[in-house]
Amino acid sequence: MQSLKNKITQHSLLFLMVLFGLLQIQNGKAETEQENAGDVGLSELIALGLKNNPRLISLRGAITIAEAQKKVARDWPDPQIRFRKNWGSNGIPAPFTETRTESYTQQVSRTEINEDGQEKKSISEETVNRNISKTITEGSNKTVTEETIEEHSEENITILPNPEIFEPGGTKTDTRDMIRNGTETDFHDTNPFADEEDTQLQFRLYVPHPGIRKARLARAEQGVKLARAVALNQERDVVIKIREEYEQLQYLKAQIELLELEQAAAKSYSEIQSKMLSSGLITIDKIEYVGNEDLSVEGAQIEFNSQRDNLAARVGLKNSQRIRITDKLISPSIDLDHTHLEYLIRMSLANRGELTTIRAKEKIAQTSLNESRAKKIPWFDYVQAGIGREEEGGQRTGESWGIQLAMSVPLFSWLGHESEVREAAVASYYSQKGATQTIITAEVVASYENLKRAKKYRDRAQKHAIAQKEYNTQFIERIKNTERHKLEKIRFEIAQNATKTTQQRLVAERTYNKALLQLEKALGASLEKVFTAPVDDHVTESALPSKGIMIKNETSNKRLSKKDASPKRADSRLQTKRKFPIVDKVRSGLRSLTPKIFRKKK
């Protein structure tokens, strides 16, 4: 029975382990499919960049902190409750004795007159020494006092002689000793040695200064605006940087396509020369040297891959081959003839992150100045109320209550040193704001003028390309009856000229796109807020429009599974294949200018 239980337990554990492994494999496959699913265009790259940028993550945390600090600024200081209780214990003292000694001397002169009118004079001098001793015994209900008085007196009497009555005079001494004892008992209504208790309860409420509290609330609110302005400015910088690198990728890809077309034309012309030489149509002295540009294509492809990897790393994308580089760089069209420069300047002054940040800092400095000024107004720091009770021997003997107000006297605030510092900070930010406005205005004007020049350059390049194409077509018609080897040479030169014209048009398109990016950067806001895009946008079409090409990936194609190689999968891949319209125009132009043998079979 025990072995059967062990086997069942082992089989259960094995089943759970297998199930857990299968779940992990399924999750890994799902994550891989999700990661590799779909292309990533410009908008997705911008979203990833805004999501994964460490600086933006930190600034979003700063916004949360600033909002929490705004809530904290509304709170009053926490009140205080104070409780105090005192206990006093009185012990009955031991009996004690008080001793007092008194000593005095008195002299008395007496004159006695008898009935016969005769006088008898005497002088009495008495000395008294008295010792008084008290023994006090304290008790809870009575106090007993025992007193003993010991008195010793000595009196010397001197009788003066009187011859009239035949009084010879004389001296006599009288000595007395006396002891007196007494006891006094005092009974107490209450016990004087009972335990004492003192209880006090106090409540203290701190009252914030209304002027200081108002200034701090305003500063916290401006702190939130400052954090949002800094985050928004950083977001715009991230978007501009991604667009610039995306534009660089588009330009490099177009360069690669042009180099491939030029290389294909040169290779075809070289093959035609070889066939004409072998067939005897031309001699060896008529053959022209055609250079090989394979390394140029490879170098451009390496630079393109490097830029694409850098862009993927910037936005946090693991697979850089998912980047789709055929999106439009700038969507709205710009009609420079109906665009007011003053409106663009106002837009830039309202949206530029540098100016918004300085405005928020200036307002924060102003709130600090208001706080320093509010400190000059006296105000109560706190209000305190308290009650108390006294007890003795378990009986209430007294009660008390009271209110206390505390006020700070702003002696040093009246000197105004802090206000001077705050005023200097406000003046500094005001000067910075003026200088920044001047620089931003100049940048907008420069970007606007540069955009006009770039638009004229692009229009001339487009007109030149159209005129050159018509001229090449007419020229081919005129020389179609020329000798075969001369005709092929002219066709090859025309193809080279068409590639060069397309290269010039590509440079003009890139110059225009850079001018648009420069204007957007100077405005500090997306051009979609300023301009509207029509349905057919031919003015702002990038050198690499949104209908892009399919990025080649030989390594990924080699790893395609059998499931991906099915006809339905292949049809879907063919349907999603994209090409550059400008490069397609170049290809069609080159095909129309070259014989059938030049054309590459697909």
**pTM for the full model?**
0.62
Q: Which helix (H) or strand (E) holds 105?
A: strand 96-113
Alpha helices in 279-352 (DSSP H): 294-315, 341-351
- The mean per-residue pLDDT over the stretch 371-378 comes to 90
Task: Note the pLDDT of residue 17.
Answer: 61
Identify the pLDDT of residue 416. Answer: 74
Q: What is the pLDDT of residue 564?
A: 40
> Tokens 């994550």 correspond to what residue?
31
**How many percent of the chain have pLDDT more than 90?**
26
pLDDT in tens, 29-38: 544 444 445 7
The reported pLDDT for the residue numbered 536 is 37
Residue 313: predicted pLDDT: 92
The pLDDT of 80-92, averaged and rounded, is 84
22 pLDDT tier (thresholds 50, 70, 90): low
Query: To which H or E segment does residue 403 belong?
Result: strand 395-408
Average pLDDT over residues 14-37: 54
Q: Report the pLDDT value the prediction gives residue 292, as an integer from 0 to 100.
A: 61
Q: What value does the mean pLDDT take over residues 545-569?
A: 35
Sorting pLDDT into bands at 50, 70 and 90, what band is 456?
very high
pLDDT at 534 over 50: no
List CB contacts of 256: < 8 A, sequence separation 6 or more.
Answer: 297, 300, 301, 304
Structure tokens at 376: 């000059």
Q: Contact at 8 Å (CB) between 250 and 305? A: no
Mean pLDDT of all residues belonging to the chain:
78
Which residues, at least 6 apart from 105, have a Cβ–Cβ distance to it below 8 Å?
125, 126, 127, 128
Which pLDDT does position 390 carry in this prediction?
85
Q: Is the pLDDT of residue 481 over 80?
A: no
Q: What is the pLDDT of residue 538?
A: 33
List, in order, residues 6 or more apart from 573 with CB less than 8 Å away.
none
Tens-place pLDDT, residues 26-83: 655 544 444 445 788 888 999 999 999 999 999 999 999 999 999 999 988 889 999 9
pLDDT tier at 259 (50, 70, 90 boundaries)? confident
Whole-angstrom Cα distance, residue 62 to residue 227? 6
More confident residue, 203 or 279: 203
| Segment 548-553 mean pLDDT | 30
Q: 284: exposed, middle or buried (C-beta count within 10 Å: 0-12, 13-18, 19+)?
A: exposed
SS3 of 115, please?
Answer: coil
Compute, in degrees rounded to 10, the torsion defined by CA atoms 427, 433, 435, 439. 170
pLDDT of 552 over the 70 cut:
no
pLDDT at 52: 92
Residue 458 has pLDDT above 80, yes or no: yes
Q: Which of 109-118, 287-296, 331-340 has the lowest mean pLDDT?
A: 287-296
pLDDT for residue 229: 93
How is residue 246 written in tokens? 């995306």
Residue 24 has pLDDT above 80, yes or no: no
**d(Cα 29, Cα 36) in Å, to the nearest integer?**
10
**Stretch 165-182: mean pLDDT:** 80
pLDDT band per the 50, 70, 90 thresholds, residue 579: very low
> Which position has the higher pLDDT, 79 or 535?
79
* pLDDT tens figures, 504-523: 888 998 999 899 889 989 99
Indicate the pLDDT class of residue 489, thresholds 50, 70 and 90.
confident
pLDDT of residue 441: 94
Per-residue confidence (pLDDT) for residue 37, from 0 to 100: 55
Is 328 a residue whose pLDDT tops 50?
yes
pLDDT value, residue 58: 93
Q: Using 50, 70 and 90 to split pLDDT, how confident is the model at 204?
A: very high
pLDDT band at 578 (very low <50, low <70, confident <90, very high): very low
Residue 94 has pLDDT above 90, yes or no: no
Instruction: Report pLDDT digits (tens) over 108-160.
Output: 887 777 777 777 777 888 888 989 998 988 887 888 898 898 888 888 888 77
Eight-state DSSP code of residue 327: S
Residues of the chain with pLDDT > 70, as a percent, come to: 76
Instruction: Note the pLDDT of residue 590.
Output: 41
* pLDDT category of residue 241 using cuts at 50, 70 and 90: very high
Q: Which residues are registered as beta bridge partners of 153?
A: 128, 176
Looking at per-residue pLDDT, the higher value among 299 and 594 belongs to: 299
CA distance 135 to 184: 10
Q: Residue 65: in which H helix or E strand, if any? A: helix 54-74
Q: What is the pLDDT of residues 418-433, one digit of tens each?
A: 888 999 999 999 999 9
Bridge partner residues of 101 (DSSP): 131
Strand partners, 129: 103, 152
How confident is the model at residue 9, as a pLDDT? Answer: 56
User: Of 263-267, 459-463, 526-530, which has the strongest mean pLDDT?
Assistant: 459-463
Q: What mean pLDDT do residues 17-22 have?
A: 58
